[in-house]
Structure 1
């Protein structure tokens, strides 16, 4: 074997784990090139004086993670392409870490053990970079403010974007988890298939408005004004269930001429938001804060 791996029985790290880490590092840094054959299980076991079943387990784990593939009559070869492209950054980072540790009198084994423990500790903390997603730009800031108050001291960053811009933002990276409202969870999940997506239940503060809607006379014309289609449709659907005999108008903009005939307008966040400023209609707020229990759910889901 040109690339000799070394395992040590005097370390607390299991032999299989030591070998797995070394082989993965050797592949990631180009010591084993794509398409190159690894030693057979028998060759590796004899060279390292390790049980053949341990080697088989290591090779199986490398294959599961996409670093190697098994080919008939050839053996285990390095995958092409690799799970991530090779560059020199990892080697340079490690060299700097070992040099700095040496200057402080920290032995390589001690640094490696501490790095493993710290990595486990960081993983236990959970998602550190959150991305909040809503359908409309105007909705982002109020929800982000609530997230900052609830979990801002437990995460590194909370950013926000719209559903339309979500794919581009995810392509840029640096996101550990996506947060959205319950209204948009089904839209957002397919756009972020490899990240946890947590939906927030909304504050039941709109129940007061819902109660008033339920008391309206049959045939009353009610306008639901909101730029974003999904929450507009959801609220309109709720209004129809509360008052089956009501006539409901859904409008994306406050200048929709159909609103002029509405006796009641439902707005957002404050009475009449989105409604014509000179409207003479009865204006009902439909507030969308986050239920405090939703933040408990968020912390549990993301390990915060």
Structure 2
């Protein structure tokens, strides 16, 4: 899996790394049972602080995307193993409302907004956008 971080972004690096790993799990480039690189290795590869990677891995563990074992490291869990909790649904609603507000302010049509959401979801599921 190739991780791309924007070091100039206002979004913290740990959030960007979290998003990249979750996206890799969703699109299948990280399969269930795959080991993530060690904290030290990934920090070195990305030229970021060890604590940034550790914070990301702890958040992935807390959310159920990985299990952390002493000898095996961080292991990817199957995509369906993380339930859509009420807290997740509330967070998703807040984020979508923010995106929708920006779309409205930029005069984007509702159909285009919905199609963008559908296309993003389907691309991660490996489906065509028909």
Same fold (TM over 0.5): yes
TM-score if structure 1 supplies the norm length? 0.28
Alignment-derived partner of residue 33 in structure 2: 35
Shift in alpha-carbon separation, 1:120–1:43, aligned structure 2, 3 A = farther
**Structure 2 gap ranges (5+):** 84-93, 100-130
Describe the superposition over 1:242-298 as per-residue Cα deviations: whole angstroms up to 9, x where unpaired.
Answer: xxxxxxxxxxxxxxxxxxxxxxxxxxxxxxxxxxxxxxxxxxxxxxxxxxxxxxxxx
Is 1:83 equivalent to 2:82 in the alignment?
A: yes
- Indicate the RMSD between aligned Cα atoms, in angstroms: 2.4
Verify: 1:9 aligned to 2:7, yes or no: yes
- Structure 1 stretches lacking a partner, 5+ long: 85-116, 123-304
What CA distance in whole angstroms lies between the structure 1 residues aligned with 2:97 and 2:52? 23
Structure 2 vs 1, CA of residues 54 and 66 (structure 1 numbering), >3 Å: closer, same or farther? same
Partner of 1:56: helix, strand, or coil? helix
Q: Secondary structure at the match of 2:7?
A: coil
Rounded to whole Å, the distance in 2 between the matches of 1:34 and 1:66 is: 12
Query: How far does residue 82 in structure 1 lie from its aligned partner after superposition?
Result: 3.0
Q: Which has the larger radius of gyration?
A: 1
Q: Which residue of 2 aligns with 1:23?
A: 21
CA distance, structure 1, for counterparts of residue 11 and residue 97 of structure 2: 14
Instruction: Normalising by structure 2, report the TM-score.
Output: 0.62
Distance 1:71 1:18 in 2: 24
Q: Displacement of 1:118 after TM fit?
A: 5.8
How many equivalent residue pairs? 90
Aligned 8 A contact 1:37 1:76 in 2:
yes
Write the distance in 2 (CA, Å) between the matches of 1:37 and 1:6.
Answer: 19
In the TM superposition, 1:155-304 aligns within 5 A as: none
Deviation string, structure 1 residues 96-132 (Cα, Å, up to 9, x no partner): xxxxxxxxxxxxxxxxxxxxx962537xxxxxxxxxx
CA separation in 2, counterparts of 1:42 and 1:118?
Answer: 32
| Secondary structure of the structure 1 residue equivalent to 2:74 | strand
SS at match of 2:48: coil
**Structure 1 runs, 4 residues or longer, greater than 2 Å off:** 117-122
User: Which is helix-richer, 1 or 2?
Assistant: 2
- Determine helix, strand or coil for the equivalent of 2:35: coil
Match of 2:54 in 1: 56
Deviation at 1:77, TM superposition (A): 0.6
